[in-house]
């Protein structure tokens, strides 16, 4: 007991001395000290100063608010929200308190709570561009892109020269496939902030989609100079090089992407695509396997087989693999990974595993006409001509100008005895630009017409 008593006496003496020391400074002094330290980015010191100010005056809302900002800078998001809760309890009319609580809730993916805070902050301060900008960011994260664009437009009307707002609106327009509109926004943003990496990257992607590959390469290269550890920049520059047919250079960018981010499944897909174009099927398949394995989703009877069909499938396969099929950027559903892997397996003679991949590609993206067409080729090569015709029907339904689908259906119909319908399909293929159809028309269909 005596030891405890001594300890308590010592504690009491310490508190008494602290009180004397604290008595020399007021809560206002500590609050101002916290502001100074925050401005100097000494957030730990600021936190201590605001805490002392709160101990001395626990009813002062600005002390909680500023301590919340210091905690947020120290990545104590929950602690920051708790201080903002107290700020709002003491002053329910503080628009900034709602704003920053909304930002913190967004970081925790509490988007519903964040939206409530942003809405309230805008009610209290309807002419503050920064509030609309942050609500737009939250809506973008929720994929409410049209509503986000409305917020960015309002923010831009209130702060027309803000590079952050212009960049965010440009990114939103990119997501909405308004690439020309995005290009204009990024251009304005870069006039205000020439070294803004996000704006350079966004403009580079818009230029890529608008087929301005030279301008796109310049933007991504400049962005990489400014942010050389950003894996996404190397990946996007790789996409441009892939589109230009510079497969070795593109692979170098994808390699760098994967050095910086080994879990970048899209880079595996795109590198595999480039490797397939270089004839390195084994490595290409390995990359495509990885792009699919990283997916986090729970993921026929033969009629006849003829030499005529087989012979006329060869130019189709060459067209699909080397000329027509240009996808190098993996979509979110990853259907393209299965599709390209299926093409490569089929070209290596593994028709049945290839068909399994194409079935999966169609399942993941049932409105992709190209997936049906390629599956139709594989089915035909395996002798399932009925299934191939069904796939061709689906292809032309989704894309009435798909010349090769008419060609494939034409040769199957012709070989199956429906020569008139077959020649009609071949004629349509020729009209749409598949010139190989005219050789068959000359050799076969003119004879049918004469009979």
Tokens of 66: 């500023």
CA distance 165 to 156: 6
Considering the domain boundaries, does residue 375 fall inside one?
yes
What confidence tens digit (pLDDT) does each residue in 349-369 have? Answer: 788 898 999 999 999 999 988
Predicted pLDDT of residue 307: 63
pLDDT higher than threshold 90 for residue 74: no
What's the number of domains the chain is made of? Answer: 1
Residue 341 lies in a domain: yes
In a domain, 364, yes or no: yes
Q: Which two three-digit tokens encode residue 37? A: 């330290």
Is residue 351 domain-resident? yes
Average pLDDT over residues 146-170: 95
Please give the share of the chain, as a percent, with pLDDT higher than 70.
85
Residue 322, domain extent? 311-450
pLDDT tens digits, residue range 97-115?
999 999 999 988 899 999 9
pLDDT for 310: 63
**Residue 243 Cα to chain centre, angstroms:** 18
Percent of the chain with pLDDT over 90: 58
- What are the CA-CA distances from residue 328 to residues 19, 241, 296, 355 (Å)? 69, 10, 21, 21
Domain assignment present for residue 175? The answer is no
- Residue 241 confidence (pLDDT) above 50: yes
Position 3 in a domain: no
Q: Is residue 407 part of a domain?
A: yes
- What single DSSP character describes residue 319? I
| Between 438 and 167, the higher pLDDT residue | 167
pLDDT in tens, 379-425: 988 888 999 999 999 999 999 999 889 999 998 998 888 888 888 88
Residue 100 lies in a domain: no
Residue 247, pLDDT above cutoff 90: yes
Q: Does 328 have pLDDT greater than 60?
A: no
Average pLDDT for 77-95: 93
Q: What is the CATH number of the domain that holds 387?
A: 1.25.40.10
Q: What is the pLDDT of residue 327?
A: 56
């Amino acid at each position: 007991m005596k030891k405890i008593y001594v300890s308590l006496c010592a504690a009491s003496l310490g508190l008494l001395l602290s009180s004397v020391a604290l008595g020399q400074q007021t809560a206002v002094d500590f609050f101002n000290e916290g502001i100074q330290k925050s401005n100097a980015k000494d957030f730990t010191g600021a936190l201590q100063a605001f805490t002392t100010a709160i101990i001395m005056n626990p009813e002062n809302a600005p002390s909680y608010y500023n301590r919340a900002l210091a905690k947020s800078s120290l990545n104590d998001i929950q602690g920051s929200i708790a201080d903002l809760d107290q700020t709002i309890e003491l002053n329910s009319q503080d628009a900034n308190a709602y704003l920053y609580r909304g930002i913190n809730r967004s970081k925790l993916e509490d988007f519903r709570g964040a939206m409530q805070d942003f809405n309230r902050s805008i009610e209290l301060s309807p002419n503050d561009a920064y509030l609309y900008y942050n609500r737009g960011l939250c809506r973008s994260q929720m994929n409410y892109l049209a509503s986000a664009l409305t917020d960015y437009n309002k923010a831009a009307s209130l702060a027309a020269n803000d590079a952050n707002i212009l960049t965010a609106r440009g990114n939103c327009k990119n997501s909405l496939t308004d690439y020309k509109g995005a290009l204009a926004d990024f251009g304005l943003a870069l006039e205000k902030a020439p070294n803004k990496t996000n704006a350079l990257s966004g403009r580079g992607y818009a230029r890529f989609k608008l087929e301005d590959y030279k301008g796109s390469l310049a933007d991504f290269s400049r962005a990489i100079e400014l942010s050389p550890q950003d894996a996404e920049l190397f990946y996007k520059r790789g996409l441009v090089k892939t589109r230009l047919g510079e497969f070795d250079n593109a692979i170098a960018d994808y390699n760098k992407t994967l050095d910086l981010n080994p879990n970048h499944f899209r880079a595996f897909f795109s590198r595999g695509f480039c490797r397939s174009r270089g004839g390195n099927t084994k490595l290409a398949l390995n990359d495509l396997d990885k792009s699919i394995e990283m997916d986090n989703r729970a993921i026929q009877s033969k009629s006849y087989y003829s030499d005529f069909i087989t012979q006329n499938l060869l130019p189709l396969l060459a067209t699909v693999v080397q000329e027509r099929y240009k996808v190098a950027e993996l979509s979110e559903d990853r259907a393209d990974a299965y599709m390209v892997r299926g093409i490569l397996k089929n070209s290596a003679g593994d028709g049945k595993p290839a068909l399994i991949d194409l079935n999966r590609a169609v399942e993941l993206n049932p409105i992709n006409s190209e997936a049906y067409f390629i599956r139709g080729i594989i089915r035909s090569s395996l002798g399932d001509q009925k299934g191939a015709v069904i796939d061709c029907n689906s292809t032309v339904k989704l894309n009435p100008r798909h010349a090769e689908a008419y060609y494939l259906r034409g040769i199957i119909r012709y070989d199956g005895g429906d020569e008139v319908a077959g020649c009609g399909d071949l004629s349509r293929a020729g009209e749409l630009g598949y010139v190989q159809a005219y050789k068959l028309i000359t050799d076969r269909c003119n004879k049918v017409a004469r009979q």
